[in-house]
Amino acid sequence: GAGVSQSPSNKVTEKGKDVELRCDPISGHTALYWYRQSLGQGLEFLIYFQGNSAPDKSGLPSDRFSAERTGGSVSTLTIQRTQQEDSAVYLCASGVVFLNTQYFGPGTRLTVL
Amino acid sequence: QKEVEQDPGPLSVPEGAIVSLNCTYSNSAFQYFMWYRQYSRKGPELLMYTYSSGNKEDGRFTAQVDKSSKYISLFIRDSQPSDSATYLCAMSDNNNDMRFGAGTRLTVKP
């Protein structure tokens, strides 16, 4: 079956521009996560959606970062006024909560010039 | 101190060697323990999943969890060049609050 998909796979933008990153989770997965992975670093949690509950935004590094999940499926991570330190791979994962596992997409590699 | 500690390596072994990867953690609430494998420029893929203490074997891979020591391990037997990747440990509590290790970069040389 189809796994988690993310688009675009690569994004190069100029400092100060806004970017939108998209995640299509596995069908039926109620949990959706966004992480950031910098070169040689572990996964930094950003935000977690579970069903219709209010998202856990505790990992968002600044108010320039926001995310939405429409209809309990597709999610969009938006970064406003991008900075060079935002350059990283942004990974999305979906899962079934009671199994406590997550399945990752291939990531979007963001480069801010 | 980080909640999850994992030696980033890099670790280089010859083909056929037994590989041991480890993580320690501080949060006793963690109940679910996972190992992910991440190839270069790919997303992490779930490799092993264990609930609570004990061992789990899947082919050449064995996961061990020792909750009393807050220590988990992944063993790879008869390692192959295709095992070359970064291995991340992950763990979560009953609230699905998951924490990841920094990942250990493994190279298996033919």
Question: What are the pLDDT tens digits along chain A (113 aa)?
Answer: 589 999 999 999 999 999 999 999 999 898 999 999 987 678 899 999 988 888 999 899 999 999 999 887 999 999 999 999 999 999 999 988 766 788 999 999 999 99
Using CA coordinates, name the residue in chain A closest to B6.
A42
Amino acid at A72: G
pLDDT at residue B52 in the model: 86
Q: Which residues of B30-44 are buried (b: 16+ CB within 10 A; e: fewer)?
A: bbbbbbbbbeeeebb
pLDDT at residue B1 in the model: 66
Residue B49 has its nearest CB partner, among A33, A50, A101, at A101
Q: Give Cα B57 distance to the centre of its chain.
A: 13
- Residues in B 46-85 with any Cβ partner in A closer than 8 A: 46, 49
Across-strand partners of A47?
A: A34
Span B25-75, pLDDT tens digits: 999 999 999 999 999 889 999 999 998 888 999 999 999 999 999 999 999
pLDDT at residue A52 in the model: 83
Residue A42 has its nearest CB partner, among B34, B88, B96, at B88
Amino acid at B2: K
pLDDT at residue A77 in the model: 98
Question: Is A74 in contact with A104 (CB distance < 8 Å)?
Answer: no
Amino acid at B95: N
Residue A102 has its nearest CB partner, among B41, B98, B101, at B98
pLDDT at residue A63 in the model: 95
